[in-house]
Structure formats: structure tokens, C-alpha cells
A and B are shown apart, each in its own frame.
Chain A
Amino acid sequence: MLALIRKDLQIELRTKEALASLLLLALLMLVVLSFAFDPTSALRSESAPGALWVAVTFAGVSALNRSFVAERENDCLQGLLLCPVDRGTIYLAKTIANFLFMMAAQLVTVPIFVFFFNLPLSWGLVGVVASLGLGVFGLSAVGTLFAAVSVRTRAREIMLPLLLLPLIVPVFIAGVKVTARALADKPLADVAHWLHLMIGFDVVFLVVGWLVFEYAVEE
């Protein structure tokens, strides 16, 4: 499995496609959302968590879509399926690789988010990153499964968001809640139930994806 993850990282380092599109798209969304709210109004800081998560989600969906497009060239997915490797393992490796890419993008996205929305630099940001970690993992777990599915359909670009967004509503809501809490510098213990929800979501769908992935890739 490590070999699979390393392969994806290698390709990414060579082309930097996923990272670039993730960063630019997230950045763009933050800018647009900034225009949606008047910079001087109080509504601005209240909407900040939501804005961050919208940006992260849409950028993430776009990156997930691409993760399997790469496997289509030269039919590499068939090459992978020819190897004596468990299909579930391929899924896990892809999920982890996608998660790593998305988290790497956060390194730049979060600071920009802080600057745009004029948020104070505080320890609360650790909580924000933690909630992003949990949420992005769930996004990756469900998204990798459905990216494999959508890449073989006709309406490729729209199919993944269409399928994915309703399904990830729980982690989205949870993420926004926890982020809001963290930014307000309040103790995270209050939102423990949201954190549990996210962890539960991540675990459940990682398992489901692992079990079901073979049906998504075999013919």
C-alpha cells in the first residue's frame, strides 16, 4: 500500500496539478465569498467558518475528480488491477493520498483565509486545522469511492459534485460548527458531539468504501 501512496505522491510532485488546482480554486472561492459579504459588517466574521468550508469542499471535489482521471491515461487503472493487490488496498491508498494533497493545500489556504477575514492569530487555529483534518478525511473517503464511479460516466464533471455533496452534509455541518467554536476561542469540549460525529463518519465510510470499491472498478 505504501508503494501506491508513494506513486501518487511522486506523480503529484512531478506535475503539481492537484495542488495547483486545489490552491487556486480555494483561493478563488474565498475571494468570491469575500465579495458576497460586506467587509465591514459583523456578518463577515460570523460567516467565516462557512466560507472556509465552502472553499475547501468545492476545491476538494475538483481535486478528487482529477485523482482518477490520471489513472485513465494509458489505462493505468487496468495495470493496477492486474497486480496481485487487494482492491480495497487500492482504495485506501488513493483515499490517503487524496487526503494528504488536500491537507497540504490547507497549509496555504488557512493563512489566506485568516488574512482575508481578518481573524486574530490564536491557538484556536489549531482547532480549525484539526476540524479540517477530520472533515477532509471524510470528504476523501466518500469522494475517492465516487470519483472512481464518476470518472467512467458521461457527465463526468457534474456527476461527482452531484453525488458527493448531499452525502457529505454531516461533516460539512460538523466542520463549520467546530471551526466556529475554535475561532471564537471557546473550549472544544462543548462541541465534542460534533467531533464524534466526524470521527464516526470517517470510520464508517472508510470501511464501506474499502468493502465496496471493487464493484466500482471492476467490470
Chain B
Amino acid sequence: MTARVIEARDLGRTFAGVTALDGVTLEVRAGESVAVFGPNGAGKTTLLRLLATLLRPSHGTLRLFDQSVGDGAEARRRIGFLSHQSFLYPDLTPLENLEFYAEMYRTDAQRAHQLLDDVGLTGWAHRPVRTLSRGLEQRAALARAVLHDPDLLLLDEPFTGLDTAAASTLMRMLREAQARGTTLLMTTHDMTRGFDLCERAVILTNGRLVWSGVLAETSPDALVHLYEARTQRGSPTVGASAARL
């Protein structure tokens, strides 16, 4: 039986009276790739941050890697997180940033060099992050996220704002991670990417999980219709592109 990487039961989180997440139950096994679809404000980022142990739940339980989260340090060692913010110090170079994080995660600093080559940043490894374009910065952020070879990768809208080259690099690296058996959880607006990369998906709206299923058994159009039916709300983008949510 494959290990349960994520086991969330009735997970909820409120911020000053506003419920961002309400009663989410989710189970993800090792090696799976799960897409999280949902409109803005649905609670996708909150869910991800809860799973990364950056937030504590207001109610419900969370088990990571088949253990209680506790203070989270053990779990964080095995989790990689990629977000809109790069978490890179702007005055240091990508190499310095990665070497720093390598020490923090107790990983071999050589991987830093290796990864910078992998993401195609060799030429910029010695320029301060401040001087890099957004696409390059995101590549460096990706290197940071996978630096310690995490068993679980949490990605928050990773393809947003990436140019084609960066996007294909990201795609390649994610596939490589999948081949290594890394578990993936990705939030996205772009359903095509979700269908491309993942086998399973869930839909979040207003902090609640309204659908969960296998992507092979459905299609982007079907999901969009289903989404509309569940929320009784017309999505303004349906006319423009059926593949976007």
C-alpha cells in the first residue's frame, strides 16, 4: 500500500472571523499528482500554506508523511514550496541564495551549482537577484524549491506570468520530479496544464471542496460545466476559453 503523504480531515482556517477554508478533507498518496482548481479567493493558497505548515489550522487535523505535524520541522524538511513570491534575497546572487538554503536544509551545496545549470541560469548565477527578470527569478525560485529533493512539492499557480521558455523548463523539471516519485500538489487557473501534469484534481470554491476525481475520466469542458452547476455562478471566462477556469 502506498504511503499517505497528505491526510487532511475537516481542515479549516479562519482569519479574523473570515473563513478562508472550511472542512476540507483530502488524501494524497505518494507519487500522485493532484491539481487544485478554483476561482480567486477560493482558498487555494490558504490550503497550500496549511499543507506547507506555514499556517496552523483553526480546526481539523492534518497528517503529513503518515505522522502528526507537530511543530512541523520534520515535515518541512521534505516539502518544497513554490509561490508567486520567490523567497530569494534580492541583494544576493542566485548562487548565494541557493547555497544559503542548502545549508538551511542540510543539503550538499554542490546541488546548488547543478540546479542552476538545470534551470538554465548558469550565466546569471553571479548577478544579484534584484537584476533578474521575472522569468529568470522564477527559475531561480524553482531551483530553490527542489534544492533539497523534497518528497512533496506544493506549487501555487506556478505557470502564471512565465514566458514560454521558462514554462517549458518548469514542465520538464516537474515531469522529472514525477518520474522520481515526488508527490505533486498544484493550484492553477489553467486547466490544460492541470490535465497535462496531473492524474487527479479537486475543485475549491468559497473554501469548500466541491469536487474530487480522476482527470482521465473527464475533460476540461465537462469540468467547467460541472463547476458552474455546483456553484450556480456564471463564470465570465467561459465564453472566452473553455479550457480556463
Contact = CB atoms under 8 A, between A and B. Distances in A.
A14 B85 contact: no
A84 B76 contact: yes
Nearest to A2: B103
Interface string A191-219: 00000000000000000000000000011
A84 B77 contact: yes
B210 to A, nearest CB: 26
Nearest to A79: B87
20 contacts: A3-B103, A7-B92, A7-B100, A11-B91, A11-B92, A14-B91, A73-B90, A74-B86, A74-B90, A76-B88, A76-B89, A79-B87, A81-B54, A82-B54, A82-B81, A83-B104, A84-B104, A86-B73, A218-B54, A218-B55
A219 B89 contact: no
Contacts of A219: 54-55
Main secondary structure of the interface of A (DSSP, over half): helix
B79 interface: yes
B108 interface: no
B74 A84 contact: yes
A162 B185 CA distance: 44
Contacts of A169: none
Nearest to A214: B71
A79 B77 CA distance: 13
Nearest to A6: B100
Interface string A76-98: 10111111111000000000000
B174 to A, nearest CB: 19
Contacts of A83: 76, 101, 104-105
Q: Which 8 A-B pairs have the closest CB atoms?
A: A79-B87, A75-B85, A3-B103, A84-B77, A83-B104, A84-B73, A84-B76, A14-B91
B96 interface: yes
Q: How large is the interface on A (under 10, 10 to 19, 20 to 34, 35 or more residues)?
A: 20 to 34
B55 A7 contact: no
Contacts of A6: 100
A10 interface: yes
B87 A75 contact: yes
Nearest to B87: A79
B5 to A, nearest CB: 17
B52 interface: yes
B52 A82 contact: yes
A218 B209 CA distance: 26
B83 interface: yes
B189 interface: no
A79 B88 contact: yes
A85 B53 CA distance: 12
A94 B83 CA distance: 25
A14 B127 CA distance: 12
B120 interface: no
B144 A79 contact: yes
B86 A218 contact: no
A167 interface: no
B86 to A, nearest CB: 5
Nearest to B77: A84
B128 interface: yes
Contacts of A76: 87-89
